[in-house]
Structure 1
Amino acid sequence: MQPIQEQLASTEEELQQTLVQLPNLPSALVPKGNSPEDNEVVREGGAKPTLYAGAKPHWDLIKEYDIVDFETGAKLTGSGFPLYKGAGAKLQRALVQYFLDYNIEAGYTEYLPPFMVNEASAYGTGQLPDKEGQMYHMQADNFYMIPTSEVPVTNIYRDEIVKAEQLPIKMTAYSPCFRREAGSFGKDVRGLNRVHQFEKVEIVQLVHPTKSYETLEEMVAHVEQLLISLELPYRILRLCGGDMSFTSALTYDFEVYSAAQERWLEVSSTSNFEGYQTNRMKIRFKDENGKTQLVHSLNGSSLALPRIVACLLENNQTEKGIQLPKVLHSYFGKETIIK
């Protein structure tokens, strides 16, 4: 019997390793398509600014205003690790605080998670085995630097049965994010457009499975109002099947318009994972009949800072300084960034 049991265990392990390579099934709402060109524009908002003659892209503005130093960041660590200073560092802090306050007011509980996770956590949210090459891995301890606070925050309830009356569970967290961005090159990565370390505020919800798509629309509206408050021109895209992540059932991307670069920059993805992540993490609840079911998980960027900062600098530049949106005045302590 022993050889048969060993063969069964080996077969089950082989089956499990095959199953984890499979992506989530897309929702029926997902547009058909294979590339970003096939994504569906849901709506646009805000007015694109008209810049004065001589306006500059943010990679020139950060040098002119002496607020982000890529050269010293490269000396300290390597290419793609910016060093924020003076008004640049203060703007980062102001944005993080505003985003957290905005989310807390909407009923999210704030967390400050570890910035490294173990293999089980990275597997639970789908970073492993899909994005293994995109994460910084510390082999001595087998820990991974987080690509987003979604990973530790969603894993808070791993291997737990929550009470139905606890749902929805709404969580928000600030963290630095670390991404190797292997293979990135070209004009799209200049300045703050694509970096290896950046700051982001995330929102995560665990909800009853019958409520997840209603919740997704609420989260999209929540992020949209945040962009409106920053007075940035934006558009919302429903991603096609070929442009969605490994773990998502339906994703909306938010892009803001960079007037100096004359292009749209992604600043948030808001997704419904249905039971894909929670099946890996075994996050469950008991329904009214006492039956154990998986909760559904959702998350969204609220917001990622680098491209928000890039667009704030570019779209609000004047000959006398960079005018900040009104909502940030009390957080930053001034209305204008001056040289």
Structure 2
Amino acid sequence: MRIAAGLIAVVAVAVVSSSVPPEPRRAAAQETAVTAGATVETEPVAHSGDAADDPAIWFDPTDAARSLVIGADKKGALETYDLTGKRIQRIPDVYPNNVDVRGNVVVAADDDTDEGVLRIYLVDPTTRQLTSAATVPTRVTAHGLCLYRSPKTDKLYAFPNSVSGRVEQWELTVRGTVVTAKSVRLFTLGRAVEGCVADDASGALYIGEEKVGIWRYGAEPDAGRSRTMVDGARPEREGHLQADVEGLAIAGDRLYASSQGSSDYTVYGRMDNKYLGRFRVVNSGGVDGCQDTDGIEASSRPLGTAFPAGVFICQDGYNLRGTTVERQNFKLIPLDRVVLPIGTLPIPYP
């Protein structure tokens, strides 16, 4: 592991185990990564091994401090946590890989079936409980997922995708507690994808092709297949990412990506997609950092006194307690610790 000047070292593991985290490869661009410490970690997911995957945020508009983190346990549950990391709800017997939220609508991609399904839930703002509203079979084996609220039509869309590289776009209609869905678009990137995020302000859809890099598409259903590469993933492409490209998130005027191979996160301008830098999430007090991350999430909305400028959330592939590897969980970092360079974050998201 390269320890740059001023870098806080990730805790060393003194035990020999197949679960011991590997040392991350050198950052793709070889520059120094800024470090940021997490202040909160969630309770571990119920299943062992590579189980936790993607987080999302449900925002409580009446009391932001009551907002929830929704986490995927892909081995058998969807879980919710408050902003102290305490588990609030566990929905068993589902197998979500990725999850996203718009308003009170929560959608998870579940690829446990032959075809894959979208599992759609509604949040009761009073109780903060999720209730199942619909299960939608997809034409792709739903693995990754992101949602999009069109600024043109106010329609809500879901983008399930698969390890084969196929991406489908579904229009979701919510009337009270009834949710209906129809497929409106299907295209392929050719190779494995998972992480994606859609920008409700610009209409951009960002998709991570794991071994290749980040692509920018149009998120409207008539956008076609035109695309632009935001950044490449080494070793196959020149760029700042180290394969695999995993989670993607947007907060304020920033786009974030999980560079899994280097166990850190790259940062881009939201509108121009210019590369701005990278950071690592390291040990802070009694909370360990994040390594080998799959899913990430971020919001620039104030979330109470603990996260007054918003929050960045990372799945931790190796949740350490001293030298003990525990079940995986999610780490929460105040957003102002990871903004590169420090900016005003003028665009609220989600």
TM-score by length of 2: 0.28
Question: Which of 1 and 2 has higher RCO (CA within 8 Å, sep 6+)?
Answer: 1
Larger radius of gyration: 1
Q: Which protein is richer in strand relative to its size? A: 2
